[in-house]
Amino acid sequence: MGISFVPSIIDDFVLKDYKNEDIKSIDFRGKWIVLYFYPKDGTAGCTKEANDFSSLIDDFLKEETVVIGISPDKTETHKKFILKNNLKIILLSDPEKVLIEKLGVWQLKQMYGKQYYGVSRTTFILDSGMNVRYVWKKVRVNGHAQEVLNKLIELKANK
């Protein structure tokens, strides 16, 4: 398993938000999307990443871009995570790992000599037609949100 290819376009998807309501990717047509996958709500790295994207949300909105984080956590966990950290981004649940597996971010990982499957921190920038314009694999959290914003501005300037 792993990201052995990068899709050129992301098919439409429907996932639940923290209110347990369906969020459809088609509703974001016409906007650019930062689609980032993360392992688990409430962990240090995932909290930092969500807070960093949230702190830059006004800059992403100026670029007519939606920031969506996806993990296999349940909607109730997302709700607690959002409220505790006052997050300004959209978090979606993929507990069945449909989109997570389809995009190849469910991968064999290793920690303390133990192997297990989990989400490999990955970020996609999608243009207004859901075309993949840029991908980061095995993301390092520090500085990542700013790097994504910089790349987004560059891509939009060169489209």
Give me the CATH number covering residue 62. 3.40.30.10
What average pLDDT does the chain have?
92
Is 46 a known active-site residue? yes
Would 6 be classed as within a structural domain? no
Would 1 be classed as within a structural domain? no
With 90 as the cut, is the pLDDT of residue 23 above it?
yes
- Give 8's contacts (C-beta < 8 A, 6+ positions apart): 131, 132
- Tally of structural domains, the chain: 1
Would 150 be classed as within a structural domain? yes
| Mean pLDDT value of segment 115-144 | 93
pTM score: 0.92
pLDDT at 142: 96
CA distance linking residue 120 with residue 108, whole number of Å:
9
pLDDT at 159: 67
Would 4 be classed as within a structural domain? no
- Asked if 66 and 60 touch (Cβ cutoff 8 Å), the reply is yes
User: Of all helices (H) and strands (E), which one includes residue 84?
Assistant: helix 75-85
| Mean pLDDT value of segment 28-32 | 92
Catalytic choice (33, 46, 89, 99): 46
pLDDT at 6: 59
User: Tens digit of pLDDT for each residue in 46-101?
Assistant: 999 999 999 999 999 999 999 999 999 999 999 999 999 999 999 999 999 999 99
Would 120 be classed as within a structural domain? yes
Would 46 be classed as within a structural domain? yes
pLDDT at 7: 64
Cα atoms in the 13 Å half-sphere on the side-chain side of 75: 9
* 111 — pLDDT class (breaks 50, 70, 90): confident
With 60 as the cut, is the pLDDT of residue 139 above it?
yes
**Domain enclosing residue 102, as ranges:** 14-157
